[in-house]
Structure 1
Amino acid sequence: MNIRFKSALCGMSLLFSGMLLYITVMHYQLSAITALVVLFSLAQIIWLTALYHRAQRFPEQLFRALSNGDHTLGLPVTHPLRQDYEKARNQMQETRLDAQRQVQFINAVFNHINLPLLICDEQGQIIEQSSAAKKILNIKINNLESLKQGSPDIFTFVSSATTNQQSSFTWHRNEQPETLYVQVSTLQIQYLQYKIVTLQSITEQLNAKEQQAYKQLTKVLTHEVANSITPLASMAQTCLALMPDGLQFDDQEDKQDLTLALSTLASRSTHLSEFIREFRHLSNLPAPQLQAVQLYELLSSVKQLFDSQHPNVMFRISGITQVMCTLDIKQIEQVLINLCKNAIEAIATTQNTQPQIDLIARYNEHAQLCVDICDNGPGITEQASKMMFVPFFSTKQQGSGIGLSLSKQIMLQHGGELIYLHRSQGACFRCVFG
């Protein structure tokens, strides 16, 4: 419709121009050549005017075509501008596809690397985080403020870091505190500054170093003490045997005192020798002999043992006990016996309360099988909870400080952990199986 209108308009313009030219020629009696020149000039003016208006409307047509999604621009296929535009459009599409492929590749690598990693901008907003970071922190991180939930010290350290820095902190988000090694690096791209934060749990490495140090200490102490105690015990027993029955003293009490002193020296030396042999288990603990066992059967055998010895204590087994697990039965039984024995000794100090010990099987937040040994006793003081797994430390007068240390060592050799859970009432130890 638009083209027909333009054609009619042009025809009318030419007709009008011809009539005007005819009137002018007849009125002024011009020659045919002059009339042709005037007519040609008039045609040139009309053509140039139409060309100018078309040039003025061309950008508007291009932008309208682009806004409507018309990639032909309303131009014929052979038009040079359309061909150049098609080339430019293909190049931009290829560039965009390359950029998308690079982003997808980087994201894939970012999420598959087993490295907790956070990237934040100058305002502290997290723009990228690896799946390993979500797993180790166990919280949703949108900005650096979120780090305050587990450790205000980590938030302060990362926020104030202006150069490459590193340090270690304790992360309290999980039931078991994690020791995290935090490293902050700064990066500047196009006048914008970013921070790259890497988080690495070093709890297992610290536990391994700690146990190794305890083993070395145990070897040295047991060796040195045994070398001194064994001759003393032998000499005391020899002296007792060499004392003749008819040996006379000026004061009969002196003989009794000497006999008592030698007997005490011999008995205490023997007791220390037994203690050293027992303590050597920490440094000479054999590797676990793993075998499949029904967890309920293992817990039931421990319960039956204490039911017969302590009928006044209520033992209860609950949780997901119908599950198979792979472990060293003798070693894990020893761990459970040590923990139940400690619980019985603790609740013996309570009054007007039915002594109760619960053996609860469950999975923790990391889908690891756990057994909680909980009692309704007085609990453990904060100071004692910090030292309870240190060899030789004990809150009991006759305690050796071996039971919890040995139990922790056994759990570590099973690829698990032994931790103390703070409760509002009573004490609770968790055996975590790896």
Structure 2
Amino acid sequence: MIFNKFPLYVLSRILCIMVTLLVFTLAITAPGYHASCVLLAALLIGQIFEMLRFVSKTNTELVRFLAAARNADFSQRFQLSKQGSGFDELGETFTEILDKLQLARTGQEEQLRHIKAVVEHVPVPLISIKANGQLTLWNNSARRLFGAHAITRVNDLIRFDSDFPQILTSMIAGERRLLDVTIDDMEHRLSIVASEIATGGEREILLSMQDIQSELDSAQLQAWQDLVRVLTHEIMNSITPVASLAKTAVDLATDVKDKVQPGSSDNREVPAEEIVEEIDDVLSAVQTVARRSEGLMHFVSSYRKLTRLPEPKKSHIKVSTLFSQVQQLATRGWPEKGIELSTNTRPGELDLMLDVDMAEQMLINLLQNAEQALAGIKNPQVSLSAFLNARGHVVIEVSDNGPGVADDLDDKVFVPFFTTKKEGSGVGLALSRQIMIAHGGHVAMRTNNCGGATFSLTF
């Protein structure tokens, strides 16, 4: 190696300089060697310069090598074969070291890119918050969650919920919380888990924010379907024989009544009027049972709709066309009632990929609810509109200027069987919610500032 030979090269040059210096001293002290003294002096000076050149050349290449390593400049090459014996080996050593450093650096960069790609494709939004309030969105899921909103500071989250920043910054490592927020008119239930990172003495909170709203909707829907399935099975098993027996009793009572009526050949000694009166009472009671049983069977059969919703058969349709079809089906008697309907679609060519029959049923239910809510209202008005929200989702809204819904009932209107109407079944809105979940969307209700309610279908 050149580093092992370097002391020998330096020592040999020093010895040569010392020998020349010794001879030069002898020549000066001896008379008659003037020419020799001049030659020896020139030789000594040349050896000293050659010694300095040799040492400085090595130092220069060493400095260049260290600078290249420090600045990660792996393009440097050390071709030193022309600079003297041993320098070619030194140049090859420097080049080999830089190549190994470059290989290690490339491996680290590939590993970093791999880690970034993994983090980028994690389906759970990841954010971090530093002590100074700086917020970083680490992956695509986090950027999708907050949409087009510029989020760089934790206080930027106030626009979604006033308590959002305080809740996040107060979380400690290992803590888990559930938080409901509304972003771009879309509801999200976030399961937030916190961990802590310390780099360079700086504390940073890492938060995973999994949106479990759709999973909760599906689980809740499945629970209600299971409940309804059990209820309908048990009720139908009980009601069917009751209805059958009641119908049979009605037929038998009618037959007896015919036989004991005055003038019948089957008259007995008991006064016919008394028998007819008694049988009339029985007949009335049995008819009531039969009528109630039939009504209960009809009532139960309506709930079966919640458990027998087929898979949506989706097709493209213009929203304006959908509105026109629904208007023809649901608003025939509105002019006589003085109800004014306005429709608006932005843009006019807006279209959707959905099950048209299901969508029509939803909108008809919502329009009928609006019609019933407007009973007794002066200047009743209903608005049917469609537009694109900030996320590019199609939103259909049905609004009315009726009395609205009480605040304490906001979270109950979509619960199966819940209704505020005396003759309502509580199925319409629950069925609409189920249809929206089947389409991968959601339905929401809000009270208007000027009165009335608005139902939003977000696809």
Which band: TM-score by shorter chain? Answer: 0.7 to 0.9
1:383 partner SS? helix
Shift of 1:370: 2.8
Shift of 1:192: 5.1
In the alignment, structure 2 segments of 5+ residues that lack a partner are: 1-27, 68-72, 262-271
Q: Which amino acid aligns with 1:327?
A: L
Q: Distance in 2 between matches of 1:167 and 1:149?
A: 20
Shift of 1:399: 1.0
Trace 1:56-135 onto structure 2 (pairs within 5 A).
78=83, 99-127=108-136, 129-135=138-144
- Judged with a 3 Å threshold, the aligned counterparts in structure 2 of structure 1 residues 49 and 238 are, in CA distance, closer, same or farther, namely closer
Residue among 281, 301, 315 paired with 2:341: 315
Shift of 1:309: 1.8
What TM-score do you get using the length of structure 1 for normalisation? 0.74
Alignment deviations for residues 206-262 of structure 1 (CA, whole Å, 9 cap, x no partner)? 111111111111112122222333344444444444163655289x7x987766544
Alignment deviations for residues 61-106 of structure 1 (CA, whole Å, 9 cap, x no partner)? 9999x8xx9x899x99727588877666666666655555554444
Q: Distance in 1 between matches of 2:369 and 2:132?
A: 52
Shift of 1:185: 3.0
- Which residue does 2:289 correspond to in 1? 265
Percent identity over paired residues: 28
- Judged with a 3 Å threshold, the aligned counterparts in structure 2 of structure 1 residues 330 and 46 are, in CA distance, closer, same or farther, namely closer
- Which residue does 2:176 correspond to in 1? 166
Trace 1:274-353 onto structure 2 (pairs within 5 A).
274-311=298-335, 312-319=338-345, 320-351=347-378
Alignment deviations for residues 375-401 of structure 1 (CA, whole Å, 9 cap, x no partner)? 222222222221011111001111110
Residue among 434, 443, 450 paired with 1:409: 434
Alignment deviations for residues 102-139 of structure 1 (CA, whole Å, 9 cap, x no partner)? 54444444334433222444545335511210111334
Q: Distance in 2 between matches of 1:295 and 1:149?
A: 31
- Judged with a 3 Å threshold, the aligned counterparts in structure 2 of structure 1 residues 247 and 336 are, in CA distance, closer, same or farther, namely farther
- Which residue does 1:179 correspond to in 2? 189
Q: In the alignment, is the contact (CA less than 8 A) between 1:416 and 1:432 conserved in 2?
A: yes
Q: In the alignment, is the contact (CA less than 8 A) between 2:395 and 2:456 conserved in 1?
A: yes
- Number of residue pairs aligned between Structure 1 and Structure 2: 402
Q: In the alignment, is the contact (CA less than 8 A) between 1:296 and 1:321 conserved in 2?
A: yes
Q: Distance in 2 between matches of 1:282 and 1:413?
A: 12
- Which residue does 1:140 correspond to in 2? 150
Shift of 1:287: 2.5
Is 1:388 matched with 2:413? yes
- Which residue does 1:230 correspond to in 2? 240
Is 1:248 matched with 2:257? no
Q: Distance in 2 between matches of 1:267 and 1:131?
A: 60
- Judged with a 3 Å threshold, the aligned counterparts in structure 2 of structure 1 residues 144 and 78 are, in CA distance, closer, same or farther, namely farther
Q: Distance in 2 between matches of 1:375 and 1:192?
A: 54
Shift of 1:45: 10
Q: In the alignment, is the contact (CA less than 8 A) between 1:121 and 1:195 conserved in 2?
A: yes
Q: Which amino acid aligns with 1:360?
A: S
Q: Distance in 1 between matches of 2:382 and 2:92?
A: 85
Alignment deviations for residues 25-84 of structure 1 (CA, whole Å, 9 cap, x no partner)? 9xxx994579988997999799979989x999x9999999x8xx9x899x9972758887
Q: Which amino acid aligns with 1:229?
A: I
Q: Which amino acid aligns with 1:315?
A: L
Shift of 1:284: 1.7
Alignment deviations for residues 281-310 of structure 1 (CA, whole Å, 9 cap, x no partner)? 111222233344343222212112334222
Q: Distance in 2 between matches of 1:232 and 1:30?
A: 148
Q: Distance in 1 between matches of 2:198 and 2:397?
A: 49
Q: Which amino acid aligns with 1:170?
A: D
- Which residue does 1:360 correspond to in 2? 385
Alignment deviations for residues 401-427 of structure 1 (CA, whole Å, 9 cap, x no partner)? 011111221222233322224432321
- Judged with a 3 Å threshold, the aligned counterparts in structure 2 of structure 1 residues 91 and 285 are, in CA distance, closer, same or farther, namely closer
Q: Which amino acid aligns with 1:129?
A: W
Q: In the alignment, is the contact (CA less than 8 A) between 1:134 and 1:140 conserved in 2?
A: no
- Judged with a 3 Å threshold, the aligned counterparts in structure 2 of structure 1 residues 226 and 101 are, in CA distance, closer, same or farther, namely closer
Q: Distance in 1 between matches of 2:44 and 2:418?
A: 111
Further displaced range: 286-295 or 272-281: 286-295
Trace 1:13-28 onto structure 2 (pairs within 5 A).
none
- Judged with a 3 Å threshold, the aligned counterparts in structure 2 of structure 1 residues 72 and 283 are, in CA distance, closer, same or farther, namely closer
1:362 partner SS? strand
Shift of 1:203: 1.3
Shift of 1:431: 2.2
- Which residue does 1:423 correspond to in 2? 448
Q: Which amino acid aligns with 2:319?
A: L
1:391 partner SS? coil
2:274 partner SS? coil
- Which residue does 1:8 correspond to in 2? none
Q: In the alignment, is the contact (CA less than 8 A) between 1:153 and 1:169 conserved in 2?
A: no
Q: Distance in 1 between matches of 2:61 and 2:436?
A: 78
